[in-house]
Amino acid sequence: MIISSYAPRRRTAPILIAALGSLLSGCQTLSSWFPDEPPAVSTPEAGRQKVGTIASHRFDLGPGQEMVGTLAAIDTNPSDTLSDIARHYGLGFNDITIANKGVKPWTPQPGSRVILPLQFIVPDASRKDIVLNLANMRLFYYPKKEPNTLYTYPVGIGRQGWSSPIGATSIVEKQANPVWHVPPSIQREHAEKGDILPAAVRAGPDNPLGYYAMRLGFPSYLIHGTNKPYGIGMQISHGCIQLYPEDIETLFGKVAVGAKVRIVHQPYLAAWQQDQLYIEAHEPLDKWAAGKIKLKKQFLNKLKSLAAEKQADIDWEKVERVIRRSDGIPVPVLKNSPELAALTQQAVQLAHPERLYGQPEVTELKDGDWSMRVATFRTETEAEQLAAMLNHQGPPIPARKVKLKDEYHVIAGPYKNKKEVNKAAKRVLMDFELKAEAIKPGQRPDSAVVSSIGSDSPVN
C-alpha cells in the first residue's frame, strides 16, 4: 500500500543494499554491483583511431578454430550504465561488470573507459545447433545452413534453488506470443510475498517469457525472451534460458524444431590461436563451487596436454593469475606472452553511438501527472543508482533524481492515475522492498520536474 503524501522518506545506503540483495535473489554477489577493486585496464594507445562498429553476434568460424572476436573498449557518455553498453554490444551484465571491476555498473563516471570482452573461446562440445555454457552464461549457435559461421548470445539462467539443467536435449516446440502458464511453485513463491499471480499471463509487457519461446525436451524448461532485459547475464530465472528480446527474435527465426541443444558447465576454456595458447576463466557457478579444485585440476592437466602437443612452454604463474581473476577475458599464457594490461591497451577503441540500443528515455513529468517518491538519500550517487535501476526494470519504471534542500529524492512517473501508481508501487515493493509514496497531480512544485537522470534542478 502506498501513502498519498509528500513528506520526505529517507532510505539509507544499508537499506538499499539489502533491497538489492533481495532483488538479485542470489543472482550476483554485491561486489559486482558495488565494486571497490581498481580497474584492471590501461589507457588506449596514443593516437588510436576510433571505429564505428564491431562484430558482436555473428562470426566466421573455420575448421579447428576455437576462438572468435576481438577485445574492444568504449568511453562512457553521461547517463550511460554498463547494462546499456552491454546490451548494445551483445554482452551480458556478468560479461561487462566482471571485466570492469573498477567501474560502477549503474553510475559510471562520464569518460570512463569500459572494456568490451567481445572475444570468446567456444565450449568443448560438438558444434551442432545450440551449445549453451552456463559458466559464462552464453549461447553458441552453429547453423547447418551457414557452415563455418557462429552466432553467440548472452543469456540469463536459473538462480539458486532453480538451477538450469545440463545435458543433451532438443527443441521440441516453438511459439510466438507465448502464454505464460504460471507453475504452482512460482504462484506459491509470489503469494508468500503478497503478490497473487494469475494462472496464465497472455503475451504483452507483463509476460516474463517475452514474445518468443522454444520449449526444450527437458520438461518445463524453455529458451525464451524476457520483459526484464537488464537480467541477461545473471542467475535470475526459475531455470529457463532467457535472451534479450532482439536476440531471441533472431534465434527464433533461425532455429528449427528438432534442433539439438547441449547444455554444459565449463568455467575454464582453452584455445590455440596464431601459435599462442589462450585461456578464458570464469568462476564456477554455486552448484559446482564445491568441486572447483577438481575442475581446476582437470583443466591444468588439459593445458599440459595442449602444450605438450606443440612443445610449448606455459607460464604457470600467469595461468594462476588468470584463473584467480576469472574475468572472462581470453589471455595468452605461454611464457613471454602479453599481459592483460597490454591486451586492453591494444583493444579496438569504439566511437560512442548517438544512442545505445534499448537505453531508457525518461519522459518529462508535468504538473497534471501522477508520480511517486520511491526513496530519499543524503548522497547524489545513491539516488542516481536507484533511479538507473528503476529505469532498467521490465517494464521500465521511469525515474529521476530530484534535489530538495540537502537531500536527493528518487521520483518515478509520469502515471495517468492512482491505479497506475499503485501497480508500479507494488512492483517496487516486490523487487526492491521499498515502500513508495504517491504524489498527486499539482502536489509537486514545477521546479521539481526533472526529465533525465543526472539533472540537479533544486526544489525550493
How far is Cα 35 from Cα 184, in angstroms, rounded to an integer?
Answer: 37
Active site residue 240: yes
Helical packing angle, 380-391 and 13-24, nearest 10°: 20
Active-site position among 240, 282, 392, 409: 240
Sign of CA dihedral 167, 168, 171, 173: negative
Q: Exposed e or buried b for every residue in 163-174, given b needs 16+ CB within 10 A?
A: bbebeebbbeeb
How far is Cα 73 from Cα 76, in angstroms, rounded to an integer?
Answer: 10
Q: What are the start-end ranges of the E strands in 202-253?
A: 212-216, 222-224, 235-237, 241-242
In the chain, the amino acid numbered 265 is H
Active-site position among 88, 224, 282, 409: 224
Where helices occur in 358-414 by DSSP H, the ranges are: 380-391
How far is Cα 388 from Cα 398, in angstroms, rounded to an integer?
Answer: 9
What residues pair up with 68 in beta bridges, in sequence order? 120
Residue with cell 596514443: 46
Q: Cα-flanking dihedrals φ and ψ of residue 391, to 5°?
A: -65, -15
HSE-up (13 A, CA, CB side) for residue 150: 27
The overall longest dimension of the chain from CA atoms, in Å, is: 76
C-alpha cell at 351: 566511437
Q: 178 and 207 in contact (C-beta within 8 Å)?
A: yes
List, by residue number, the catalytic residues. Answer: 224, 240
